Amino acid sequence: MKSNSVSLAVDAFATGRADALILIGRILLAWVFVGSAYGAISNFSGSVGYFRSLNLPAPELLTMTTIVLEVLISVGLILGVGTRYCAILTFVFVLAATAIAHRYWSIPRVRSRSVNTTTS
């Protein structure tokens, strides 16, 4: 079967290059946190203002904590140091960030206007 031979070829490719592929995956995942940390560092007052707009206590401390955690996650993933601990930290960080700062479920719905597609 052709499908089976393709599957075997992909499996052989992934097995032979597992270390490189895992490194690429870790770097790509860390890139999300590198970008976020860079944005928070380069616009520190904006990040503090965002936490302040959420009525959170100590927005400066939360901003600094966020930056430190994002840098720690990024460095750990890129260098491959304590990757299992980084995975747990990433999970907890993303869960907390979603619950605290990315509350998409509380955004009011925007009603879309229906478009009349009939022609006269």
Other residues' Cβ atoms within 10 Å of the Cβ of residue 43: 12
Could you tell me the pTM of the whole model? 0.76
Residue partners of 75: CB distance under 8 A and separation at least 6: 30, 81
What is the DSSP code (8-state) at residue 106?
G
pLDDT per position as a tens digit, 15-74:
889 989 999 999 999 999 999 999 999 999 999 999 999 999 999 999 999 999 999 999
Is the separation of the CB atoms in 72 and 112 below 8 Å?
no
For 13, the token pair is 């490719």
